[in-house]
Amino acid sequence: MPDRETNAVDVLVIGAGGAGLRAAIEAAAAGATTAVVCKSLFGKAHTVMAEGGIAAALGNVWPEDNWKVHFRDTMRGGKMLNNWRMAQLHAQESPERVLELESWGALFDRTPDGRILQRDFGGHRYARLAHVGDRTGLELLRTLQNRAVAAGIGVFMECKILRLLTDASGAVCGALGLWRGSGEFVVFQAKAVILASGGIGKIWKFTTNSWESTGDGHALALWAGAELVDMECVQFHPTGMIWPASARGLLVTEGVRGDGGILKNREGERFMFSYIPEYYAKETADTVAEADRWYDDKTVRRPPELLPRDEVARAINAEVKAGRGSPHGGVYLDIASRRPPEYIRRRLPSMYQQFRELADVDITTQEMEVGPTCHYAMGGVRVDADTAASSVPGLFAAGEVAGGMHGANRLGGNSLSDLLVFGRRAGIAAAEYARGLPRAPKPDPAAVEAALAAALACFENASGENPYSLHHELQETMQSLVGIIRTESELISALELLDELDARAGALVVAGQRRFNPAWHLALDLESMLTVARAATLAALARRESRGGHARDDYPDADPEHFAKVNIVVRELAGAVTVSEEPIAAMPADLAALIEEAA
């Protein structure tokens, strides 16, 4: 192997968002030399986009709340597809993780008696989300960032990971990276690797996700031999910005509804009352009077605007299809007529700013136009609940890139707590795994050279298209054929188009130099995106029912007999992405009882 820049660590964390930093802090505290590598500048991870809060049953606002209710809400929100052990650990440990964050400097909004204030969100029985106005993710990320800096953790920023490296036994032993700034390659040798690379939203056209969310971790795991689970379950957030066109998809926090906002159609009708599914009828208000009482009186039922996200997104979709949408093809989100301007500006400062500056809308006096936008991948790397270990030795995954925790649909606020709970667990387990290895495994130099030759191929192609147009077509394909409502014929069309896009991706042309060349970066990201798009489409085809974030026009109902009992598992075998059904482990009786008793 020619002389390549090489960095050796015990634990390499890929991704510097909430999960990656929490994992790194824990691995370093356990004595492992730890480094974090991230695609953007340090501190810019998509976690900063989380707005409404972090769900944890602290019981500060409603003492009735506890982990059992949170567990039950999470499982029911996920339509029972969740890995129940992950949901249990998450509900049990998230309060301590939030308090820990506070002891590291996070400043949450307070209750009158000085404790952490909690707000209402969809699918949560009690006000449960610790928050900082509507910029909770920034607070979480900056707190972890400062902690990681103080802990002396190595940070390798603006570095894209191209491949995980494995040894002869198949165990992970590092990763091959590309410095985006210089265009040079770098080898990371590591005893253990933690994937914390976030989501896949950039394969859809309208998304809340930043440019980084190209499914790198999902694809890296698949290529290294790991399994993905629940890839058909994609969350379309009900409220994204609709207008102006260039802002379409930007997140409008669920906190707007949690703090009293309601949804209306073109006729001014509060339409969510027409979309209360049987599954949630017992806990959802069916009159305006009851719904409006709920904010102060938790003995009555929750407003239908605070149904889980999958339900609200489909309702908005149906209203627009029925011709009752707003001028730009969304519906109206109204908090102006419900709460005083001062309250809105204090509780939702960044929403106020976002609409004022990007859309000339004053949300304290005007309604917002909103519609569904791709937001979150429930599916991801299949992991052991307690250790975040994948099926590949030495490879761990936490945060959005990991699957199972959220089942078929994630509740708002559960992602930030997920990052902390499983980031920490991944850090502990990876450090322990690294400690147990007698010596660092060595990457195969031939594999390194082959991967970097492949990464450079697009500079050699003489004719072909530019990566921006290919990305555009991929997004159009996924948006129109693998969107919020799926059907078999469209999914098959999508697979045919993906075949074609795969072929064209091999002939992409990148001109110019290697130093900070965004066209090259996109060409490399497209490899991940095409892999993940195929995984999501194949899984969507395989689940012939509707459940949570996966809705099929041709199978509109949930199937309690068969599909309720299986996960769709994606693997790469001999270079081909394949799917199979695998049974879900039965829930222990004590946990199952929690679901029933509170229902």
| Single-letter residue type at 368 | M
Q: Give the chain's count of helices (H) and strands (E).
A: 16, 18
Q: CB under 8 A: which stretch of 15-23, 145-153, 369-377, 435-443 binds other proteins?
A: 145-153
Distance CA 403, CA 549 (A): 14
Contacts of 415 (CB under 8 A, 6+ apart): 50, 376, 399, 400, 406
CB of 1 to other proteins, least distance (A): 20
Write each residue from 183 to 222 as x if it is in contact with other proteins (CB under 8 A), else as -, in one continuous string. Answer: ---------------------------xxx----------
239 binding other proteins? (CB under 8 A): no
Residue 534: which of 583, 486, 480, 578 has the closest Cα?
Answer: 578
Q: CB under 8 A: which stretch of 136-144, 330-338, 422-430, 581-589 binds other proteins?
A: 136-144
357 binding other proteins? (CB under 8 A): yes
Distance CA 445, CA 547 (A): 45
Residue given tokens 């031999």 in the structure block: 225
CB of 357 to other proteins, least distance (A): 6
CB of 337 to other proteins, least distance (A): 25
- For every residue of 448-483, DSSP letters joined together read HHHHHHHHHGGGT-SS---HHHHHHHHHHHHHHHSS
Is the Cβ of residue 156 or residue 236 nearer to other proteins in the bound state? 156
Considering only 84, 156, 433, 563, the residue that binds other proteins (CB under 8 A) is: 156
- Catalytic residue annotation: 237, 257
- Secondary structure of residue 186 in the 3-state scheme: strand
CB of 349 to other proteins, least distance (A): 8
- Which residues inside 46-75 make contact with other proteins, applying CB under 8 A? 46, 48-49
Considering only 3, 168, 246, 282, the residue that binds other proteins (CB under 8 A) is: 246
CB of 36 to other proteins, least distance (A): 10
Q: CB under 8 A: which stretch of 137-145, 377-385, 422-430, 497-505 binds other proteins?
A: 137-145
How many C-beta neighbours within 10 Å does residue 492 have? Answer: 13
Distance CA 293, CA 299 (A): 9
**Residue length of the chain:** 599
118 binding other proteins? (CB under 8 A): no
- Which residues inside 507-526 make contact with other proteins, applying CB under 8 A? 510-513, 515-520
Write each residue from 539 to 558 as x if it is in contact with other proteins (CB under 8 A), else as -, in one continuous string. Answer: --------------------
Write each residue from 431 to 470 as x if it is in contact with other proteins (CB under 8 A), else as -, in one continuous string. Answer: -----------------------------------xxxx-
> E-strand spans in 281-363?
331-334
Total number of residues binding other proteins (CB under 8 A)?
83
Is the Cβ of residue 201 or residue 308 nearer to other proteins in the bound state? 201
Q: What single DSSP character describes residue 194?
A: E
Alpha helices, DSSP H, located in 43-110: 67-77, 84-103
CB of 543 to other proteins, least distance (A): 31
Distance CA 449, CA 550 (A): 40
Distance CA 167, CA 165 (A): 7
